[in-house]
Structure 1
Amino acid sequence: MKWFPEYNFILASKSPRRQQLLKSLDIDFTVQTKEVEEVYPAGMSKEQVPVFLAELKAQPFIKELADKDLLITADTIVCLGDEILGKPETFQDALEMIQNLSGKEHQVITGVCLTTNQKSKSFSSLTNVVFKKLTLEEIEYYIQAYEPYDKAGAYGIQEWIGAIGITSIEGSFYNVMGLPIQKLYEQIQRF
């Protein structure tokens, strides 16, 4: 039984987590990436940013898409209040980010863009996540052991810090990993 229309699915992401999540939908896909400077206009709301960036990541592919190609691009941001936390560049960056998240609720928002050579559709998913009050030793251990420098907000929910530190989650767990696959499944079926 086929769950999806006959597309050649292309995931434009180097993220091993996004690739793993898309595989869980039993979709055959290829991975293609192009470098895009991830810059968004000042003053844009946090809800708009990941959708804008997902659409931006689709732009370099549009002229190359064949008739049956369906491109999937995505971007995930972590927000503490109105502040968007990017990817940490140093140990100190990661330490400060996780210390700021410790004992608080934050939002994870993923924007996804589906693109063919005929049309595109974008959507987003928001998840509320709460960390317990983490000790300095827990934070330092996590950063040293897991090196979360490729992750927005400096953590991966599926890693040790998620297991020991997250006290509640409202919304999609997979969204926090980088791809809201249940919503993606529905959107592809409607596309």
Structure 2
Amino acid sequence: MNDAPVLRLASASPRRRELLASIGVSVELAPADIDESRGEGESPEQFVSRLAREKAEAGHRGSTRPTLGADTVVVCDGAIFGKPRDEAHAREMLTALSGREHLVLSAVAVIGAQGLRECWVATQVFMRRIDEAEMAAYWSTGEPADKAGGYAVQGRAAIFVERLEGSYSAVVGLPLYETASLLRAQGVALWNDVP
């Protein structure tokens, strides 16, 4: 992989940076500070798509490189679960998800030579029952503090997930199959592109 950045990433997420590195894309970080409030009447799909688009737009300002913005939310019974405010909020979310299935929506927007290209992906996640002691122990690890829905499928919470239907990488934070297509459309080479 060439270490010279070929893409601006409008995020400070180490997970997204690692996922992009896994497909051979080096990034320049340009975290975007946007209002992440949900608009009135905005569906979860519209909401996550708008956030990804606004992040890409904010991160792209002043750049000639293609810019990627992304966002991921957990949806249960129509409610959007973002990052927990505190331990009580994390437990509230995990209690709602415990023993049930929920949806993870991950949106990607890339601005480049071909203008704006975007998509969103839905993945169903099936969680086993999680008891109070496990929730407390999980919170004490520090892992759920900055994760949508209060859990990280790629971390210790993997033992809570029975199965998923859809994109594992989307649940982590970036749907790689779809992202690769968007990047190629913008002229960004991946690890397997022959020069």
- So what's the TM-score if we normalise by structure 1? 0.90
* Structure 1 counterpart of 2:180: 185
Conservation of the 8 A alpha-carbon contact between 2:98 and 2:128: yes
Residue pairs, 1:1-191, within 5 angstroms: 8-66=6-64, 69-116=65-112, 119-162=115-158, 164-191=159-186
Conservation of the 8 A alpha-carbon contact between 1:62 and 1:117: no
Aligned-residue sequence identity (percent) comes to 32
- For 1:29 and 1:63, locate their aligned partners in 2 and report how far apart those are by CA, in whole Å: 16
Residue 46 of structure 1: CA displacement? 1.1
What is the DSSP-based 3-state SS (H/G/I as helix, E as strand, rest coil) of the residue aligned with 2:40? coil
* Structure 1 counterpart of 2:189: none
What is the DSSP-based 3-state SS (H/G/I as helix, E as strand, rest coil) of the residue aligned with 2:94? helix
What is the DSSP-based 3-state SS (H/G/I as helix, E as strand, rest coil) of the residue aligned with 1:47? helix
The gaps in structure 2 that reach 5 residues or longer are 187-195
What is the DSSP-based 3-state SS (H/G/I as helix, E as strand, rest coil) of the residue aligned with 2:44? coil
- For 1:31 and 1:21, locate their aligned partners in 2 and report how far apart those are by CA, in whole Å: 14
- For 1:186 and 1:86, locate their aligned partners in 2 and report how far apart those are by CA, in whole Å: 27
Amino acid at match of 1:133: R
Report the CA distance shift for 1:123/1:40 in structure 2 as closer, same or farther (over 3 A).
same
Report the CA distance shift for 1:44/1:26 in structure 2 as closer, same or farther (over 3 A).
same
- For 1:60 and 1:133, locate their aligned partners in 2 and report how far apart those are by CA, in whole Å: 40
Runs of 4+ in 1 over 3 A off after TM superposition: none
Amino acid at match of 2:80: I
What do the CA deviations read for 1:30-55 (whole angstroms, capped 9, x no partner)?
Answer: 11113112123111111111111111
What is the DSSP-based 3-state SS (H/G/I as helix, E as strand, rest coil) of the residue aligned with 1:39? coil
- The alignment covers a number of residue pairs equal to 184
The gaps in structure 1 that reach 5 residues or longer are none
What do the CA deviations read for 1:87-137 (whole angstroms, capped 9, x no partner)?
Answer: 111111111110110000000001111002661111011110010011111
- So what's the TM-score if we normalise by structure 2? 0.88
What is the DSSP-based 3-state SS (H/G/I as helix, E as strand, rest coil) of the residue aligned with 1:148? helix
What is the DSSP-based 3-state SS (H/G/I as helix, E as strand, rest coil) of the residue aligned with 2:45? coil
